[in-house]
Structure 1
Amino acid sequence: MTTTYTALPAAYAPPEANRPIDTVESLFSHLYDAARLEMSTIPLYLYAAYSIKTANVSQWSSGPGAFRLIKSIVIEEMLHLSLVRNLIVAIGYGEHVKFQHKAFIPEFPTPMLCRVPDLELRLAPLTTELVRDVFMPLELPAKVDAPPESDKYQTIGQFYKAIFDGFQRLCGVEPGTYGRPDQAKQKALFRHNRMDLQYTNAYWNEGGGGAPVIVHDLHSALTAINLIVEQGEGMDPDQQEVPIDPQDPAGQQQAGLFEFPHYVKFKRIADGWEPIGEVYPMPDNPRVSQFPEGPVRDLGQLACAAYTYVLAMLDELYNTSGNDVKPGATSPRYGLERKFIAAMQGLLFGVIKELVRIPITEGPYCDLHAAPTFEYYEFPEDRSLTQHLRELCERVLPHYPALGGDNSVLWLISERMPQDLQ
């Protein structure tokens, strides 16, 4: 199966297998693919997590349970996505990336980007088989001596190693060594950096490890890449724990603050150590167009709109300078950061929580439950995104009154979201 992307950034060129990254243009293309790769994991894991009817099997369970483990992985994948975009901003290509763009949002099922052999990524209710057949191969640790692969890689770790080497090469450092960067080359690579546009505050990061890295030189770029890899994308198979803060491994080791990498977290679910609990009977790779006409389909569209809206807010964040963030002052950037969290945790989750409870009684998904499809939603151009989102919510409110009232989805849209978001 081949995924077709349209309207990719003009600066993007498909990576060539076995060709090292030796130009800033090639580096951007690889980072853009890294962002697409990270993006493809988030709906995948969220769908599985939202399929769980109970957050845990029992309050007496010894471990955190499947839901909390997957939630922690999603939080870290979001961190990885922001780290990759920080890297892109640092080399001067930030304006070429738009998360809200239709070409950036994956459609499922889809093959894992550039992986050999092919691995089909699909939206499906959580089972141990799904974890073992899809999630664990996706997060497969790289072997210690695995070569960097800029395309046709077997593990994500090999792909990031190629990007790591590319940063070194463009800064005048022999890949695989610990040499000091050539100051002129390093300055040239980061000459168009806008640190004020990078993401700095992970308010949403409760339950996950690590924190955003402000990329401004070779060392900080490599730190960001290592953070991504250390949290599970390319871990040494023999290493079963990683520090909660990979930027301070010695201090974290001394304090005993460790967590499992992604691969091990998924293995614990597959092996039955972390119980899944009761799961909604949701369809594989659903489409809103296949939902019965009427309220259910309208709610499915609202979920897609909320998902696209959250990505639009993240784009707006990266277009808003953080230089005005000062104690005691009103800051547009700080306001957007807080509203983004509300949109992700209250708006998107609020709609999906209502959606998955609905049994479908007709059509191709008969006897299953409705589910989030994570499809791109085309907002109309004649009004703000927030205004249209509110209209979609008001349309379904008579059928799903839980979306209204104090601190509800409709309240968040009307009172807490940026009303001029385009």
Structure 2
Amino acid sequence: MIGASLSRWTVSYFAAALLALLLALALMAVGYGFPHVPVESPQTLVVVHLAVLGWLSLLMCGALFQFVPVLIARPLYSDAAPLSALVCLVSGLVALLLGFLALEGRIAATPSFLAAASLLLVMGFGLVLGNLLVTLLKGRPLPIPARFVVVGLASLALTAALGVTFALVRGGIADEEHLVELASAGIPIHAITGLGGWLGFCAMGVSYKLLAMFMLAPELDRRGSRAALYLGTCALLIGMPGAVVAVWFGGSRDLVLLAAGAPGLGAMAFYGRDILHVYRARKRRTIELNARMATLAFVSLAAAVLLAVIATLLSEMQRYSAPIAFLFAFGWLSGLGLAKLYKIVAFLTWLECYGPVLGKMPTPRVQDLVVEPRAGKWFLLYFIAVWLGAAALVFGYPGAFQAAAAAMLVATLGIVGELVRVRYLADVPKAGMPSGVRRPPMLWSAAQ
């Protein structure tokens, strides 16, 4: 990892993110939220924001603090800001969830929760954006993966602005006409900008780098890579500002989003071709578990795109939007995140423990920290459960969806258990523990 040190708080972000994922899956498993209640209900908002804000966004922030310096071979601008950002983001998430529970009537209604959530989340994401953007500015000209991250960070700012607008309107704090209209019709815009722009673009950029790095494949800077970047950016520029203008001036929001879908589909096609090229061009012939499971995440992405095309052709997007979003969020983004976490946590733990003594004495390999056959069963269970859950949503079986969510919860608990074992060095033979090597802290990195 040339040009980068260990990010002290990345593991803390991962731990908080995994806790949010487990809570979201537990709620889905007991029937809380969609499909038992409408998408726009407070219950569904609790589950969605636990998954997207608590799990995926914290995961992405932690990963970017570690790997943006790797993308550009420059150190992170501030090593202190990530902790402050994490405190703000977790506190803001808690306040937001309390605000949704107040809207549901489970706790005393008060606008202060949503107002506090807006302030804390803006502060948290502001620290994230400022730190990463200043770091990226020092690395110009940026390689292709870093450019994806820049677009993703711009989408994060837009997603946060929309989220604050919704929170203030639903909390009864803001009643300006245009903001009320946007809060009423802007949920699909918010979802697309967040999942497709912020999380999707950053996942694409980071995956370009990590897949090449961990499989010893050439760095990609092809015409197809640039086409994926430009087409995806075009889709976001059409979809986000265009749809907002349509809402405010009486145009067709859905028509604008449909127009944005065409370049978005092209971006996904070029991205998929690039990923296939990375697998074919790799020098590491034996594919490790994280890369094998990443292929299942890409299969989930392909299924989501295919279902979106079918829904568009049948004019049934409203019916199929939930399973599409589920496959995108839990199949691709979450599946890819969990697969790469399995490698990243082992890699960072190895660097933290054995990096200081490397070359001075024999050390284990990164792969010696994990037991892939045992972990592989949990990953297979997770992806099978995701696909069954998506099928249950397509065919309208809420009970089957609950069962699938319960299986996802069990699988995720198993994967978390494997990650804890890695941090404890539980599977490293005693002979692989050189004198002076200590187990790392569970929730942060001691080495810099």
- Provide the TM-score with structure 2 as the length reference: 0.33
The structure where helix makes up a greater share of residues is: 2
- Provide the TM-score with structure 1 as the length reference: 0.35
